[in-house]
Amino acid sequence: MNGHLVAPEPTGADKWEVQLRKGCLELAILAALWSGKLYGLEVLRRLESDSDLVVSEGTVYPLLSRLKALGLVGSEWVESDAGHPRKYYTLTPTGRKRALEMAAIWARFSSSMSRLLTPLVPHATPTREEADNL
């Protein structure tokens, strides 16, 4: 053993939840920017407070760069009272259109999944005894 702690690899439902959250990030970032410009850390905070999506800067900033390259997000450097300039991100008109399209797709998908999952909802969190018997 080398003395370093290594986080265990997600397995089963945990791995699936990680992939589900990753798949929602683009829509979540566009939605976070819907009401106006935010700098990167504000995007992270909005994701955490409004959606329970806890992501690292190392995930969000490359995605913001990709969204910018796709023309969905614009950015500008703004001087800050804190002393260092901050890069603010805003939705472009194309980004606003894409956010609306993605939100409509999400609404249809989540509604149909909710209907499908209705019989499972009372059992979504199994008791310890139920889990042991699975």
19 burial class (0-12, 13-18, 19+ CB within 10 angstroms)?
exposed
Q: How many domains does the chain have?
A: 1
pLDDT level of residue 17 (50, 70, 90 thresholds): confident
C-alpha 68/C-alpha 63 separation (Å) is: 8
65 belongs to a structural domain: yes
CA angle 72, 74, 76 (to 5 degrees): 170
Q: Which of 25, 34, 35, 57 has its CA nearest to residue 44?
A: 57
Note down the domain range covering 57.
16-120
10 belongs to a structural domain: no
For the entire predicted model, the pTM comes to 0.78
Could you tell me what percentage of the chain is helix, strand and coil, using 3-state DSSP and rounding each to the nearest 5? Answer: 60, 10, 30
Q: Supply the mean pLDDT for the chain.
A: 86
Q: CB count, 10 Å around CB of 65?
A: 13
The amino acid at residue 13 is A
96 belongs to a structural domain: yes
44 belongs to a structural domain: yes
40 belongs to a structural domain: yes
131 belongs to a structural domain: no
11 belongs to a structural domain: no
Q: What's the pLDDT at 123? A: 63
Per-residue pLDDT of 113-122, as tens digits, reads 999 999 888 7
CATH (domain of 62)? 1.10.10.10
Q: Which residues contact 78 (CB under 8 A, 6 or more apart)?
A: 39, 85, 86, 87, 88
Per-residue pLDDT of 75-103, as tens digits, reads 999 998 878 899 999 999 999 999 999 99
43 belongs to a structural domain: yes
Evaluate if residue 33 carries a pLDDT over 90.
Answer: yes
Q: Is residue 88 a contact partner of residue 76, using CB atoms and an 8 Å limit?
A: yes
Higher pLDDT, 1 or 114: 114
Q: What's the pLDDT at 14? A: 82
Stretch among 23-37, 59-73, 88-102, 115-129 having the lowest mean pLDDT: 115-129
